[in-house]
């Protein structure tokens, strides 16, 4: 769809005195687009030394949405048990004695990260999403890094990624993230990342072509719904429905060769609340 890419004649609004907020590394050249969504400011009544003083406090978060037209699943070794379906089995010395099958591909792929600001020109906290899980990082202004605090699993019993302890920045201002090859999960360091315990599934990311995302950015205010493009307000699912699923899928296990496409942005949960 042509409206996924910001028009070249659009001006890019400045944010916090032109601070460049995000730099991402991706392992290979692709077609990901970036959109920033901003959820607004607030004020509060403050009491200091017995005097009432109305003091404006700036609280907001910015979410960077990255769209990819296709997400490649993972190839695993399975043993066909007929009526009971195919079951994952470990490889023997790196050799699959069963059949190699690819699971989890889907058309349409939304990935995102969020920055939360509070009274400062630098972010207070960052959230990085990797598939159906994510991690919260606190910004350390003295060292110019983000430090791991906690993580969550939004969906799935077996997803429990191991997130790196630190996120390094470029120029003490841009968090450097790595988009996984094929599946596009965002990681805070290069390497091999386990994100599903059973069967063991890994993402791989590395230093590929740098993607300076702040040079191609469109800032959209969440409250101005009429100005948002149609894909931004779409409440359905992107891509194909699930198909070629394991018999256990009827019990809620999401084991399919093709899984459902992602939900629209309005259906997703915010990682921060102002």
- CA distance between the termini of the chain: 32
Residue 274 lies in a domain: no
d(CA 222, CA 63): 10
Full residue range of the structural domain in which residue 241 is found: 59-267
Nearby residues of 187 by Cβ (< 8 Å), 6 or more positions away: 128, 130, 163, 164, 177, 178, 179, 180, 193, 203, 205
**3-class SS letters over 105-129:** EEEEEEEEEEEEEECCCCCCEEEEE
Residue 261 lies in a domain: yes
Residue 37 lies in a domain: no
Residue 89 lies in a domain: yes
Q: Mind listing the pLDDT tens digit of every residue in the chain (274 residues)?
A: 323 333 333 333 333 333 333 333 333 333 445 566 655 433 333 334 444 444 567 788 888 888 889 888 888 888 888 777 788 888 888 898 888 888 888 888 899 999 999 988 889 999 999 888 899 999 999 999 999 999 888 876 666 788 889 998 987 778 999 988 888 888 888 888 777 665 677 888 888 888 887 777 777 776 766 778 888 889 998 888 888 887 766 666 667 888 888 989 988 888 876 5
pTM above 0.85, yes or no: no
- Do the beta carbons of residue 126 and residue 147 sit within 8 Å? no
d(CA 215, CA 33): 12
Residue 36 lies in a domain: no
d(CA 186, CA 57): 31
- Do the beta carbons of residue 81 and residue 106 sit within 8 Å? no
**Residue 30, number of CB atoms within 10 A of its CB:** 18
Residue 71 lies in a domain: yes
pLDDT at 133: 86
Residue 85 lies in a domain: yes
pLDDT at 271: 83
Question: What is the tally of structural domains in the chain?
Answer: 1
pLDDT at 12: 31
Residue 19 lies in a domain: no
Burial 61-74 (b: 16+ CB within 10 A, else e): bbbbbbbbebbbbb
């Amino acid at each position: 769809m042509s409206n996924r890419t910001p028009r070249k004649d659009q001006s890019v609004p400045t944010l916090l005195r032109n601070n460049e907020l995000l730099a991402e590394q991706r392992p290979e050249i692709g077609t990901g687009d970036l959109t920033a969504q901003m959820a607004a400011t607030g004020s509060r009544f403050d009491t200091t030394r017995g005097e009432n003083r109305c003091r404006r406090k700036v609280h907001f978060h910015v979410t960077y949405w990255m769209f990819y037209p296709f997400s490649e699943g993972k190839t695993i070794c399975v043993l066909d048990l007929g009526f009971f379906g195919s079951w994952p089995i470990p490889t023997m010395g790196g050799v699959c004695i069963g059949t190699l099958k690819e699971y989890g591909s889907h058309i349409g792929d939304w990935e995102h990260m969020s920055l939360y600001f509070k009274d400062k020109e630098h972010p207070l906290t960052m959230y990085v999403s990797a598939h159906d899980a994510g991690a919260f990082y606190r910004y350390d202004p003295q060292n110019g890094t983000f430090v791991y605090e906690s993580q969550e699993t939004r969906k799935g019993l077996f997803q429990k990624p191991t997130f790196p302890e630190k996120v390094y920045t470029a120029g003490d201002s841009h968090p450097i993230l790595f988009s996984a090859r094929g599946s596009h999960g965002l990681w805070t360091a290069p390497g091999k990342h386990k994100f599903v315990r059973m069967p063991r599934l890994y993402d791989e990311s590395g230093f590929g072509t740098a993607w300076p995302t702040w040079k191609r950015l469109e800032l959209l205010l969440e409250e101005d719904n009429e100005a948002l493009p149609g894909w931004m307000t779409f409440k359905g699912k992107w891509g194909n429905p699930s198909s070629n699923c394991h018999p256990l899928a009827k019990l809620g296990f999401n084991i399919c060769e093709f899984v459902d496409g992602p939900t629209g942005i309005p259906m997703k949960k915010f990682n921060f609340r102002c």
